[in-house]
Structure 1
């Protein structure tokens, strides 16, 4: 180990250059991971917050289910009658509106039944109530956009007015902040024709999905067969959110390429470094150093460079997160950062180890003779 540190000091320029590359790779992996998590949260955080185990969609809606699926009252009543299942209607759609203080906002309308297990409650103001069907509870992002408790929000092109009763935590769907409302109000928004006005006829009693809270003995497959629905776990329904799958595939692909780059760069550096040090390694072998000791000595150098560079990269990624986290969808929790950086260290050391065969096969007599 002492000799490894001496070599690091003697060739500090080379190792600093290599360490800088590791810093940049680790930082890029961390930043991409932060954007992956942040974009995912910004797309499906409202779905993650749903206290449901499954969502039952209309059969035949195999993609973009929240936009294409319509489940009627008979299906909802049928699920309510199933043993071991608690069911309630859920409506999801995107809308745009303007408050009486001229704040223009996009929002995801989530129709839920007040006091059902989907009711988010409220952190400030009042929760949803059947007594005020036009009352809504908005997420904190809408508060940031200028919506306040007591405001009147008019849905564009429909003329439907909503009264902001309260606020709840951070929730978004498809990169749009969520406004929770009674499901009857959501049905008015979902099925209203532009220009028809708020006095249009009663909308159909339909929902985007039936939210289920299934117990251990619930037979969901039999329920689907009897009611003509298609049930997914809440996690499996994330793909129904607009853009979620494409974003995850894109960002994950970038991460995978960065994980592939790290061992190649580190391995190439230590392969060249090993070739340049073969005479010194041969001398150490001639003086009695064992092959395992030489290998441990070289791996110690690689570990110091990779671990130090990764730690600096992690700090850089965390700093970027603090800098841009409030302006863009970026989330980099400590556990996720630690796991990402550990992966970078492992693949970096693997790249170095693969290129060190010459360390264990060095022939002191041949190399010492060839150097005369």
Structure 2
């Protein structure tokens, strides 16, 4: 490390420029990662935060909530299974609500479930809706941020039903729209797909159970039903898979670019120092010592640059527009910081190969 630190102090401008590039690449990785997480949460936080491991859906629904309709009788059958810890019905539909007394309209996703069940929303302001009383809803906090408040009335123009906001929840969105919770009976009365249904129905059944019981529960279902995992449900949300796939590919390319850029920079620097390395070898420095020096140099530079980029990332979040979905967890920062450090070290391996091939006698001859 002595040699690495001495060189960093001696060639400040050279390593400052390399460090700047590393900071910019790392900053871009963290910002895109935060946007990817933010978009994921904005698209599917209601499912991600749901206390369910699996979903039972109609077999022909292609794992989409809005295409599935299941009889409530199936809920009792699933609850009776010894493999199931808990199960709850969930109704879903996307509608446009009109604020009573205003021309303002908002696209929302309706989630209908038992107010006392495992899928009930956590109310952060106001009260929860009543299972028996019609017309009460709990809305995601994003509606409050755009001007809605407790007691506001919302009208569904399609069914003519009017709802009153009695509470607010948080982190509840689906397909980039805020989620509004209500009781199952209210959802059944306003859902046009159920007008010709004689029995009570829901969209899906959320199930809590161990993965070991998956096969048993799947075999117990009738042919018109299918069991899917929470991850499969997320992937079926319109645009979720494509959106996340694109951003993940961008992040992957950034890591590859970082590796190539660092490899080229350190290789060129190593070529410029061929004579010096040759002299050091002639004086008794072995290849492993020089390799440790290069790797130590890279790690020092990478750790400093990653720390600066993390600080800059959190600084950038302070000036981001309020409506921009951005979410960067501590675990993700640590994970990508380690990956960037690994990529930096891998990028220096080409330089190590060059150092190992340096011939001391030949290098001294060039110097003389």
Q: Normalising by structure 1, what TM-score? A: 0.91
**Residues 78 and 227 in structure 1, CA contact (< 8 A), matched pair in contact too:** no
Q: Which digits, 9 at most, give the CA deviation of each residue in 1:266-315, with x for residues without a partner?
A: 01001000010000111111111121111111222222222222221222
State the distance in 2 between where 1:217 and 1:94 align: 32
> Is 1:256 the counterpart of 2:257 in the alignment?
no
State the distance in 1 between where 2:129 and 2:286 align: 74
Q: Which residue of 2 aligns with 1:196?
A: none
State the distance in 2 between where 1:352 and 1:223 align: 56
Q: Which blocks of at least 5 consecutive residues in structure 1 are unaligned?
A: 194-199
Q: Which residue of 2 aligns with 1:53?
A: 53
> Is 1:213 the counterpart of 2:213 in the alignment?
no
Q: Which range moves more in the overlay, 80-89 or 168-177?
A: 80-89
**Residues 137 and 163 in structure 2, CA contact (< 8 A), matched pair in contact too:** yes
State the distance in 2 between where 1:42 and 1:217 align: 31
Root-mean-square deviation over aligned CA pairs: 2.2
Q: Which range moves more in the overlay, 81-90 or 153-162?
A: 81-90
> Is 1:298 the counterpart of 2:294 in the alignment?
yes
Aligned partner (choices 318, 338, 347) of residue 351 of structure 1: 347
Q: Which residue of 1 aligns with 2:75?
A: 76
Q: 1:361 to 1:192 in 2, by over 3 A?
A: closer
Q: Which digits, 9 at most, give the CA deviation of each residue in 1:12-50, with x for residues without a partner?
A: 222111111100100011011101111111111111222
State the distance in 2 between where 1:192 and 1:292 align: 72
Q: Which residue of 2 aligns with 1:197?
A: none
5 Å matches for 1:179-218?
179-191=180-192, 205-214=200-209
Aligned partner (choices 227, 230, 235) of residue 231 of structure 1: 227
For 1:141, what is the secondary structure of its paired residue? helix
Q: Which residue of 2 aligns with 1:147?
A: 148
For 2:130, what is the secondary structure of its paired residue? coil
Q: Which blocks of at least 5 consecutive residues in structure 2 are unaligned?
A: none
Number of residue pairs matched?
A: 364
Q: 1:40 to 1:289 in 2, by over 3 A?
A: same
Q: Which residue of 2 aligns with 1:96?
A: 96
Q: Which residue of 2 aligns with 1:122?
A: 123
5 Å matches for 1:153-168?
153-168=154-169
State the distance in 2 between where 1:66 and 1:125 align: 28
For 1:133, what is the secondary structure of its paired residue? coil
**Residues 113 and 182 in structure 2, CA contact (< 8 A), matched pair in contact too:** yes
CA displacement at 1:55 relative to structure 2: 0.7
State the distance in 2 between where 1:223 and 1:247 align: 35
Q: Which digits, 9 at most, give the CA deviation of each residue in 1:197-251, with x for residues without a partner?
A: xxx8988632221122236767312222x36311112233111222211111011
Q: Normalising by structure 2, what TM-score? A: 0.92
Q: Which range moves more in the overlay, 340-349 or 155-164?
A: 155-164
